[in-house]
Structure 1
Amino acid sequence: MRKNLAIFAFALAANLELTSAALFTNPADVPTNKQYQYVVVGAGPGGSVVASRLSEDPHTNVLLLEAGPSDEGVLQIEVPYLALELQPNTTYDWNYTTVPQTGLGGRAIAYTRGHVLGGSSSINIMAWTRSSLDDFNRYAAVSGDDGWSWDAIEPYFKKIEHFVPPVDHHNTSGQIDIQIHGTRGPLNITVNNTPYPMDSHVINTTQELGDEYPFNIDMNSGHPLGIGWAQSATGNGMRSSASSSYIRPVLSRPNLDVLVNTVATKLLRSGHDNVTGVPVFSGVEVAQSSTSPVFAFNATKEVILSAGAVNTPQLLMLSGIGPSSHLSSLGIETVVDHPSVGQNLSDHPGVGNQYSVAAAQDDTDDNLVRNSTLFNELLQEWKDKRLGTMTGNGFNHIGWLRLPTDDPIWKTAQDPSAGPTAAQYEFLFDDGYVAATAPPTGYFITVDTVLVSPTSRGSITLASANPFDSPLIDPAFLNTTLDIYVMRAAIRSAAHFLSAKTWDGFVTGQGGDFANVDLDLDESVDAWARARAMTVWHPTGTAQMGKCNDTGSVVDPDLRVKGTKGLRVVDASVFPYIPASHPQAVVYAFAERAADLIKDGRRYC
C-alpha cells in the first residue's frame, strides 16, 4: 500500500518554522502583556476556523494552541498522493491504539489522529463530502435548533469553498454541479486531478446497473446516494487543509497568535458565576512534555475546545468535567458530573476488498511501490510542475448506498441512518492493493466498503490522571448484529458492482487474501470483515450536542458545555450522530456557524 512508499528516495521534509512572529514554538515566548479574549485548543477544522473568524475583528485577541508541530514545508502533507505516509507512527500522528476490539476478533488497531497544525485535515485523504440533508435535519431535531438544519447550514458550505479547476484542465462537465459550490471561500476544492484506468468502468457500471447503482453528478447537493466523481480538499495540485486555508494566510494579523508543540493539560477555573453558581473556566494550563515547565493562558471571554473527539473529552475529564465515578477512581476532583463526556463514540469501520486486474498498467499504486525510478519521476513532476499522479489522492469515485427497503433485516432492526437521503454504507475505489501489504506479484484494485451509519457505540476514558498518558479508546467496531450484517451486505454489493460487463477483461476475480473468501457464506464474509476492518479516521460524538434541558448531552445548541460558564466545544465530538460522510466538511460548517454564534453572543438556552 502507499504508506510503504517511504522506502523510496526521499526523507521526511524538515518541519520549518514560519517567519511570522505570530507563530510560537515555545510557550515562554508568547507575549505576557497581551490579553486574549479567546483561547482555542486544537488547530483542526474546528479550531482553525473559529480562531481565524474571531480574529477578523482587530479588537479581538485570539490564542490558538496546537499540540503538534507546524505543517509548513512538510512534503507528505503538501503532496496529495502521499497522504498515507503521514500515519501511523509519525510526528504528525498522535499514534494512538485502541483497546482490543471484541468485534474485530480481539485486535487492537492503530487509531490515527492529526498531531500537527491543521489537525486531521493535514493528514487525512482529503475527501470532501457534505453529508445528506437528513443528517443535518436530524441535528436540528436533536438540538431543537433549526439553525443546524440543512437549509440553514448549506450556505456555510458555499462560504467555505473555493472551487478550482483540476490541474490537468480536463472538461469537468458531468463530474460536478458548479452551481451548488462556493468559488470565493478560503478552502480549495476540486474534482479528480489525474485519471485512473478504472474510471470509465466505474461510470459505465452506473449505466449497466443503474437501478442499483445510479450515477450522481454531485453528491454534495444534500442528496448523496449513488455513484459519482469524488471531490477533494485540494487545489492547484496541493492539499488544502485548515492550516493552509484558515491560519497561514492570516498569520500577519497582530491579534492572532499560534502556539505549536504544546499540549493543553488542564482547564483552569476562576470561581463560580454569581448568578447561576456554575463553575467558570477562564484559562488553560499547558506544557510541552511531562517534565517541562507548566504555563497558563487566560481568556477573558471563552476557552474553546477543538481538540477532537479523542482529546476534547480527555481534557474535559482531566479538568474534572465528566462521569464522577470514573474521575474519582483516578483521584480527579469532580467539578461537573457529566456522565456523557467520553461516551457515544461513533466511528466508521472500513474493509479493503482486493480484486485482481489483468494488465499491469491498470494498477497505479503497486507499480509505484515496486518501481522506485517511476515513483521518483512522478514525485519530481509534482515538485517541478504540480502535475501528474501525485496531485491525486488515490481515488476518483465514491459511492453512497443503502440496503433495499425490503431487505429482511428491517423486519427485526430499525434503520440507524438519519433518513432516506442518508447512506448506510460507502464504496471507495482505489487503484491498487490498498489497506494491506500487497503481494510481491500481481496487479490489483481495491473497493473499500465502509459502514457509515453504525449502531455500535464506544467510549473515550482516561487511563490515568496524567495528561501525557494516552486515553483508552474503544470505538466498539462491529459490535452489533446490524453492523456486521450491513458490512457483509456491502462487501457482497461491491462484488456485484464489479460483475457488470464493463469489467470483463479488466477484473479477473478476487485477489490476494480476499481470494480465499467465499462470498456465498455468511461466516466467511464476516470472518474477513472482522479480520480486516480498520478505522477510516472519523471518530465523533464524545461531547454530544442536545437540547437545553437534555441531561444526556454535553453541550447545548450553542455548543457551550452544560453546567459551566466560559467553555465551548467546536469539533466533531459535538455531533450527536455520526454523519454518513467523510466528516471534515461537516466540521468546517459547524465551526463557521459556531464562529457566528460567538460573534453574535447568542444564548439559545
Structure 2
Amino acid sequence: MRSPALLLVLSGLAVPAFAAIYTKPLQLPRITYDYVIVGAGNAGLVVANRLTENPKIQVLVLEAGISDENVLPVIVPFLGPTATPNTPFDWNYTVTPQTNLDNRAFPYPRGKILGGCSTVNYMTHHYGSSDDYDKLARDTGDAGWSWNNMQKYIQAHEKFVPPADGHNTTGQFIPEKHGFKGVTSISLPGNSQGIDARVLSTLDELKSEFPFNPDMGGGDILGIGWAQSSIGNGTRSSSSTSYLRDANSRPNLHVLIHATVTKLIPNGFKNGRVSFGGVMFTSTNTAIRLPSFVYATKEIILSAGSIGTPQILLLSGIGPKKELSAMGIPTIIDNASVGKNMSEHVLVPNIFQVTGSESLDELLRGGSFLDTSLAQWTANKTGPLSNSVTNQLGFLRLPQNSSIFQTVPDPSTGPKSSHFEFVIANFWLNPGISVPATGRFFTIVTALISPTSRGFVKLASTDPFKAPIINPQLLSTAFDRFAIREAVKATKRFASASAWKDYIIAPFGSNNATTDDEIDAHVRSLASTVFHPIGTATMTKAGASWGVVDPNLKLKGAEGIRIVDASVWPTIPNAHTQGPTYLVAERASDLIKADQ
C-alpha cells in the first residue's frame, strides 16, 4: 500500500509538537536512574507512565527509533499500512524463507519509533478471549493473570470515545465492557462504508455460521461485529500519544531516542543469582558511534518486543549456551528457552473484484479522491482517512466435527476462543503489495488465530546492528494448514450471500481456487503474517525448568531484569496483540510497584 509520493506529500504537513525528547546521550541530566526501560513501544511507555506517577521515582526510556512528531503517515488512521514496510519508522526485518509458503521470504514490520508497533500498526484494538487469560493463569500458576483479575486494567487503560463522524453507536458496542476514563482513546469506525449494510445483511442471512457479535472488546470474541480501533478524534492513539503524552512533562521521566541497546551489563551477584544494573547502548544520532552506559538502581525493564527482547538477551550472554558459544559469546545465564516458542498469526488476503464506486482503492492510488479526503481530514479530522482499514471483523471456530480433530486436539485456549479471523476491507488489502493500477477490490483477510506452529529468533551476528534470524516456521503443522484452508473456504461462503451478488464480480487471481489443492496453493503463494509475534521470552511457573520469565515477569536466574512486552505470552491471544500487551503492561506496573 505504501506510496513514496504519498509519503512525500504527507511529510509537508504539521501537527502539534510533543514536549522535548532527548536525542543525544550527552543531553541526559543523569546516568543513574531507579529504572531503565528498554523500548518505547506499547508496553514500555505504559510502565514509564505508571512508575513516574510517583515523583520520587526516576525513569529513563531508551528508544532505538525516531520521534513520531509530525509523522503524518502514522497519525492519519487510514494511512497506517503506508507506515511499513521499508520505511524510516520500521526495523525493516525480513523472515527467513518459509518452507510451507513456497520458500518465500517477506518483510516483517516492527515499529522503530516512539510508540513502537502501536504507532505503525493497523490500530485494531481488543483484548482477546477470556479463555486466553484463564489459560495464562493456569500455565503460570498465578491467578492474577486470570480474566477476572485482568478486566480491571481495561478501565485503567481504555478511554472509549465517540467515533470521528459522531454517529449513533447504539447496538454497536456494550458500554459496560469498556473504560471511559483511561489513557488510550478507543473508538468505533469513524466513517461509514458502502459495504457496511452488506456485511450486516450477510450476518442475518448466514447467522448460523457467521453470528453477529455486539462487542468483541470485553472477552467474548466469537462472531463478527463492529471493529474497535485505537483512534480518537480521527487520529491514531498510540502509546506515545497517550501514555507518553500524559506523562512527558514529568521531570522524573526522561526519554532518549536514537539509542540502540546493545547489551545488559551484570554488576555482581544477589541472592545467589547474577545481578544486572547497567545498560550499554549506542546512539545512532552522533557522528561517531561510541558505546554509552546508563545504570538502574532498582530494575532494568526490557520492553523491546518479541524480536528485540530476545536479541538483546542473547547479545548479553543470556540464552542457549550452545548457540551463544557458537557465536563466541560468553554464557552468563544458560537458558534454552530464549528466542524459542515464537508464535504468529498467519494472514491470507482473499481478494475479489467488485463493480461500482463504493470501494476505497482510489485512496491508495493518489489523485483527486486522496486530495479531497486529505483536505477534509486536515480541516476537521473526518472522512475516509479518519478510519482504520476495517469497519467489521470477527473471530470464528471450526465445526466440532471437523476431521482434523480426529487426530489433533483442539489447540484453542478454550471453548470461547477462535481458530481463525475475518478482517473485512472495502479495498485492496494485501500488506506490502501495492494496489494494481486499475480495478476495484474487496478483501476478506483470513488469519489463523490458534496456530500450533512454533518458530524462533536467534542471532545472525554478534553485531547488534545486524537483524537477527527470524523464522516463525509458518504453517508447519497439519492443523495450521487445515485451519487456514477452512478459513479461506469460509470466505467463499460469506461472499456467496445474496447481499454481494450485485457487487462482487469475481474472485481475483488465485482466490478463484475451489479444490483443496488449489486453495493450499493460493495460501502458499500469498500468506504472510499479521505481525503479531509472541512467546520468545515465555512466562512460565516459577519452578518450571523451561521459560524465560516467572509469573512476576522477572528473568529466571537473574536479579534486576524484568521483561514486559508481548514476548512473555506463552500462547498467542485471540486478538490483535496490542490490546493484550497493554493489559500485561498495566499489571506489570503494579507488580513492579509492589516490589518498591
* Structure 2 residues without counterparts, runs of 5 or longer: none
The one-letter code of the counterpart of 2:174 is D
Amino acid at match of 1:473: I
2:571 maps to a residue whose letter is Y
**Where do 5+ consecutive residues of structure 1 fail to align?**
none
Identity %: 43
- Equivalent residues, number: 592
1:297 aligns with 2:294: yes
Q: TM-score, normalised by structure 1?
A: 0.96
The Cα shift of 1:302 comes to 0.0
Instruction: Find the counterpart in structure 2 of residue 419 from structure 1.
Output: 414
- Superimposed CA distance per residue, residues 436-481 of structure 1 (whole angstroms, 9 cap, x where no aligned partner): 4333332110000000110110000001111111100001111111
Q: Distance in 2 between matches of 1:83 and 1:386?
A: 15
Superposed CA deviations along residues 24-74 of structure 1, whole A, max 9, x for unmatched, are 001121113x64100000011110000110000000000011000111111
Q: Helix, strand or coil for the counterpart of 1:265?
A: strand
Give the Å deviation of 1:514.
Answer: 3.0
1:390 and 2:378 correspond = no
Does residue 551 (structure 1) correspond to residue 548 (structure 2)? The answer is no
Name the residue aligned to 2:110: 113
Whole-Å separation in 2 of the counterparts to 1:455 and 1:588 = 24
Which residue does the alignment assign to 2:402?
407
Q: Which residue matches 1:90? A: 87
Q: Deviation per CA, 1:55-103, whole angstroms, max 9, x where unpaired?
A: 0000000001100011111111110011011111111000001111101
Match of 2:169 in 1: 172
Partner of 1:346: 343
- Write out per-residue CA displacement over residues 369-425 of structure 1, whole angstroms, 9 at most, x where no aligned residue: 345111011111111111101100121001100100011110011111101111110
3-state DSSP class of the match of 1:551?
coil
Shift of 1:129: 1.5
Greater CA deviation, 125-134 or 439-448? Answer: 439-448
Cα distance, 1:159 vs structure 2: 1.2
| Residue 570 of structure 1, aligned match among 539, 543, 564 | 564
Cα-to-partner distance string for 1:183-221 (whole Å, 9 max, x where unaligned): 000100000100111111111111111111100000122
Look up the match of 2:367: 372
Is 1:235–2:229 an aligned residue pair? Answer: no
- The 5-angstrom pairing of residues 166-205 of structure 1 reads 166-205=163-202
* Shift in alpha-carbon separation, 1:494–1:86, aligned structure 2, 3 A: same
The alignment's C-alpha RMSD in Å is 1.6
TM-score by length of 2: 0.97
- Say whether the 8 Å CA contact 2:513–2:522 is kept in structure 1: no
For 1:4, give the aligned amino acid. Answer: S
SS in 1 for 2:489: helix
CA distance 1:7–1:386, change in 2 (3 Å): closer
Q: Which of 451, 470, 474 is the matching residue for 1:473?
A: 470
Going from structure 1 to structure 2, the CA distance change for 1:243 and 1:495 (only over 3 Å counts) comes to: same
SS at match of 2:413: coil
User: Is residue 205–residue 500 contact of structure 1 (8 Å, CA) maintained in 2?
Assistant: yes
In structure 1, the partner of 2:28 is 30
Instruction: Tell me which amino acid in the other structure corresponds to 1:28.
Output: L
Say if 2:591 is the partner of 1:597: yes
Alignment-derived partner of residue 148 in structure 1: 145
CA–CA separation in structure 1 for the residues paired with 2:401 and 2:378: 52
Superposed counterparts of 1:95-106, under 5 Å? 95-106=92-103
Structure 1 position 15, deviation (Å): 9.6
Cα distance in 2, alignment partners of residues 391 and 369 from structure 1: 14
Equivalent in the alignment of 1:560: 554
Aligned equivalents of 1:395, 1:20: Cα separation in 2: 32
1:433 aligns with 2:428: yes
Q: Counterparts of 1:235 and 1:437 in 2: how far apart (Å)? A: 27
Contact 1:280 1:565 in 2 (8 A): yes
- The reply to whether residue 268 of structure 1 matches residue 265 of structure 2 is yes
Q: Distance in 2 between matches of 1:452 and 1:163?
A: 25
- Cα separation, 1, equivalents of 2:17 and 2:381: 22
Q: Are 2:126 and 2:218, in contact at CA under 8 Å, matched by a contact in 1?
A: no
Q: Is the 8 A contact 2:178 2:218 kept in 1?
A: no
Say which of 41, 46, 49 aligns to 2:38.
41
Structure 1 pair 9/252, CA: closer, same or farther in 2 (3 Å)? Answer: closer
Q: Provide closer, same or farther for how the CA distance between residues 269 and 580 of structure 1 changes in structure 2, counting only shifts above 3 A.
A: same
> SS at the partner of 1:573?
helix
Equivalent-residue separation in structure 2 for 1:384 and 1:551 (angstroms): 58
**Partner residue, 2:359:** 363
How far the C-alpha of 1:16 sits from its partner, in A, is 9.4
CA distance in 1, matches of 2:550, 2:16: 38
Match of 1:541 in 2: 535
Query: Matched residue of 1:362: which SS?
Result: coil
